Amino acid sequence: MDSYMMKALDKSTWDDFAAMFERNGGLFSGCWCTWFHPQDREAEECNRAYKQRMVREEVAHAALVFAGDEAVAWAEYGTPEELPGIHHRKQYQEGMVTPPNYRITCIYVDKRHRSTGLAAVALRGALDLIARAGGGLVEGYPQDTPGKKMNPSFLYNGTRHLYEEAGFTYDRPKGKNHCVMTMTVEAAS
């Protein structure tokens, strides 16, 4: 993992982020990871333009993992206000005790780099950036399918095992085959 570098998604890394998404068809049918953001886009904005505007306005956050000069993985995170979209909302809200300070909503690894541990690197990068931003209670919503082989397109937020390895604890189920995992991240000194 020493050959990879992590950078925050911002105006300076937008072109690298966009190149990764373009190489992979905009991800998940051209989503550009906008589903979790507020749906207050301007009428003429496509997903790419909307995401770019959110990055420019500094209300879209992610950890980008680089292999050399190329972004090859990422983990999207943000506050619930930045990322209000959530699957299975009714079931999610029924079991909530403490609202999170941050959510990790999407983890993606370029097809050419899968099965190399980069999802864990991206997740760790997001946690490091959250620590630098002041830390707090972090939630993730991975697949909870122990032992089952999954199509990578359904693993948009990784697996329960990935989160457990990073130090998260299981909180509750959320929808079919997903769960809520939590972790308190201390502020970086």
**CB of 38 within 8 A of CB of 79?**
no
CA 109 – CA 131 distance, rounded (Å): 22
β-strands 61-67, 102-109: how paired?
A: unpaired
| Residue ranges of domains in the chain, CATH in brackets | 4-185 (3.40.630.30)
110 pLDDT more than 70: yes
- pLDDT band for position 185 (50/70/90)? very high
Between 188 and 175, name the one with better pLDDT: 188
pLDDT of amino acid 29: 63
Residue range 114-151, pLDDT digits in tens: 777 899 999 999 999 999 999 999 999 998 877 666 55
The pLDDT value given to residue 88: 87
Q: Is the pTM of this model over 0.85?
A: yes
Asked whether the predicted pLDDT for residue 152 surpasses 80, the reply is no
Read off the pLDDT of residues 50-94 as tens digits, 9 standing for 90 and up: 999 999 999 999 999 999 999 999 999 999 999 999 888 898 898
Distance (Å, rounded) from C-alpha 159 to C-alpha 168?
11
- Phi first, then psi: what are they for 69, rounded to 5°? -95, 5
Q: What's the pLDDT at 117?
A: 81
Stretch 156-180: mean pLDDT, rounded? Answer: 90
The candidate with the shortest Cα–Cα distance to 84, out of 73, 99, 74, is 99
Could you say which DSSP state residue 178 is in?
B
pLDDT at 49 over 60: yes
* pLDDT at position 28: 58
| Alpha carbon distance 172, 92 (integer Å) | 8
**Higher per-residue confidence, 37 vs 128:** 128
Phi-psi region of 33 (alpha: psi -120 to 50; beta: other; left: phi over 0): left
Beta carbons within 10 angstroms of residue 28's beta carbon: 15
